[in-house]
Chains A and B, each alone.
Chain A
Amino acid sequence: MMSTVLSEPENRLHPAEDSPRIDLKDRHLAAFLGWLIPGSGHLYQGRYGKGVLIMVCVLGTYFFGLYLGQGKVVYASMRSKDRRLPYLCQVGVGLPALPALVQSYRVRHGKQPLWGGLMAPPNLDRSITAPDTSGNSIRHPDQLAKWHYDLNAYFELGTVYTMIAGLLNILAIYDAWAGPMLAVPNDTSPPGAPT
């Protein structure tokens, strides 16, 4: 299935100064690729500049957030005590967020998480006692509480970064599927034309 976004004057949504003819190729495949690896849908369409721009911005934002949260801010959990709704935004970056689903599946089925616990949901069933930076023993009600204690504001910062990365990629996916969306310009009907 081939789709082409037409240039002015064929398509009045795209002003002439910024309206090359865009071959969207298979727009559904491009959207899927764009979700799986941000920017790759554009690369598939031959829109290399935008593809690299989106890839760098979205993946850079996502991995910086993951770094701030030490790999703990992206996890999938719909348990009653911990509904991780931010994951619904984070999964917008596609493949880089999918290990969380694998980890969630393994934990739900009583298996040990892989990859050193990266993106694994926290254990909420038992308390944790650990020393703080002063050597005092701190009792945390569960692992999630310990993460918040250890990471402090970086847990929220990492969560926000990774969420925004996912949401930005949804914009990029739409761009891969339909081409750039521009505001409809003023009516350019020739003088005297019936209105």
Chain B
Amino acid sequence: MIDVLFSMGTPPLAIGRMWFSLPLLVAVSLVYSATRHERMGPILVHAVRFAAWIVGFMAIILVVLIVLAWLT
């Protein structure tokens, strides 16, 4: 199934472009957390947890897409 992602031995273009999600992940996590807390410590802790949630959610969507691609 994973060969859908890594066909022909090279990662598809979309894998390289996924790095563009990293700065967004950091910015979204920090700003969202900053609207939930006032002090820097809780903001950073919340940001890490929130980033983990986003990555987990994106991973679930990725798995669903891989399965759909594998089925078709």
Interface residues, chain A, with chain B CB atoms under 8 Å away: 14, 17-20, 22, 47, 49-50, 53-54, 57-58, 60-61, 64, 153, 157, 160-161, 164-165, 168, 171-172, 174-175, 179-182
Contact = CB atoms under 8 A, between A and B. Distances in A.
Nearest to A47: B38
A interface secondary structure, majority: helix
B38 A57 contact: no
A168 B26 CA distance: 12
* Closest CB pairs A-B (n = 4): A57-B27, A175-B35, A168-B31, A61-B27
A60 B38 contact: no
A175 B39 CA distance: 13
Contact of B20 (A19, A60, A157): A157
B24 A172 contact: no
A180 B38 contact: yes
Nearest to A153: B17
B23 A53 contact: no
Interface in B10-28: 17, 20, 23-24, 26-28
